[in-house]
Amino acid sequence: MNLIEIKHLRKDYATHKAVDDISFVIPKGSIFGLLGPNGAGKTTLLRMITGIFYPDQGEILFNGRPFDARTDIHSIGYMPEERGLYKKMKVGEQTLYLAQLKGMSEKDAKDKIKYWFDKFEINNWYNKKVEELSKGMHQKVQFISTIMHSPQLLILDEPFSGLDPINANLIKQEIFDLSKNGTTIIFSTHRMEQVEEICDRIVLVNQGKKLLDGEVKQIKQSFKQHLFRIEVGVMPNFAQMATYHFSIIKQEGLAYTVKLSEGSTTNDILMHFIRHEIPVTFFQEILPSINEVFIQQVTSIANETIGITNESQPAYS
């Protein structure tokens, strides 16, 4: 069951196509990563999902029905990258106000505030003005006001920027807990190490277009370079390492990075070492990080465009 289905979404700005024919689905209960460099169209995409913008073309299905901003925005919690709270308002009043605007009754909202403020141990902030808070405290309050109304869909745009490791961990744990309880989470970022740690699925966009989407594990598999890391107990001599099954990419002491030749298997590599009576202490496939996939995908497209422009320019020689 998909919570969100996005079909051929388009949004044009005066000068460029912000979102150009993007389709993907977000399964219910998943943690979904929306990745892309700055200016890729992530924020525009999120603003369409949250009902802030209307798409020029295409369709968004929410729970299988066409997205209706009037009712469905109550099921969404959105923490934009550009964060903000009313500086002169007190923390408690602020969260109460934002919760009421999401359709909660005053009583429910107050109960929830008590629950979350207890959980985050910030009860003594209730009467503090927002402008008195540090950036990290500000972020916590913002996070609480985003999840107060128990949204079905939680959209977090760069949720960890500006957080110290302890608070980042707290929020990360909260994201996992919410996900366990059935909340679907869209996580927009360009920090790739977080994506691998947190997300089940990702979609990668660049210049308004979708480059790829799918499960994190599958994507890593499909971009693998057939690289393996081998660590050995004794230093082999040069002749012992010569074989058509693999080539050595890198050597660091007793650790080798090798590339499997086409037609060979991992067992061929291991057999080779065993035959030479070299004890193997470690053997693991090296999968590309999402970061590498990301950079490779984004730069290969950038190179294409650069290539085109270079041709039109006279060569210097």
Partner 1 sequence: MNKIWLIIKREFTTRVRKRSFLVVTLLVPLFFAAMVVVPILIATNTKEEKRIAVIDDSHLFMNRFSDDKGVYYKYLINTSVDTFQHKYADYGYAGLLYIPELDIDRPGGITYYSNAQPGLAVESRLTRRVNNLIEEERLKKANIDAAQLKAVKSDISIDFKTGEEGKKGSSAVAYGVGYASGFIIYIILMFFGMSVMRGVMEEKVSRIAEVMISSVKPFQLMMGKIIGIAAVGLLQFLIWVVLIVCVQLILPLFLPTDAVAAMSEGGAMMQSGSNAAVIEAMEKIQFVVGSINWTVIITCFIFYFLGGYLFYSALFAAVGSLVNEDPTDAQALTFPITLPIIIGIMVMISSVQNPTGPLAFWGSIIPFTSPMVMMARIPYGVPGTVPYWQLGLSMSLLILGFLFTTWMAGKIYRTGILLYGKKITWKEAIKWIGRKS
Binding region for partner 1 (CB under 8 A): 47, 50-52, 54, 73, 76, 78-80, 82-89, 97-98, 100-102, 142, 145
Alpha-carbon gap, residue 85 to 95, rounded angstroms = 9
Kindly tell me which of 130 and 278 has the beta carbon lying closer to partner 1. 130
Q: How many CB atoms neighbour CB 190 within 10 A?
A: 17
Smaller CB distance to partner 1: residue 35 or 98?
98
Task: Pick the closer one to partner 1 by CB: 100 or 266.
Answer: 100
- Decide: 223 and 291 in contact? Cβ < 8 Å: no
Which residues, listed in sequence order, are joined to residue 221 by a DSSP beta bridge? none
Beta carbons within 8 Å of 282's beta carbon, 6+ residues apart: 229, 230, 231, 255
Name residue, tokens 């950079």: 295
Q: Which is nearer to partner 1, 102 or 112 (CB)?
A: 102
Beta carbon nearer to partner 1, 98 or 232: 98
- Long-range (24+ apart) CB contacts under 8 A made by 47-54 are 48/9, 48/11, 48/19, 49/4, 49/6, 49/76, 49/153, 49/155, 49/186, 50/76, 50/78, 50/155, 51/76, 53/11
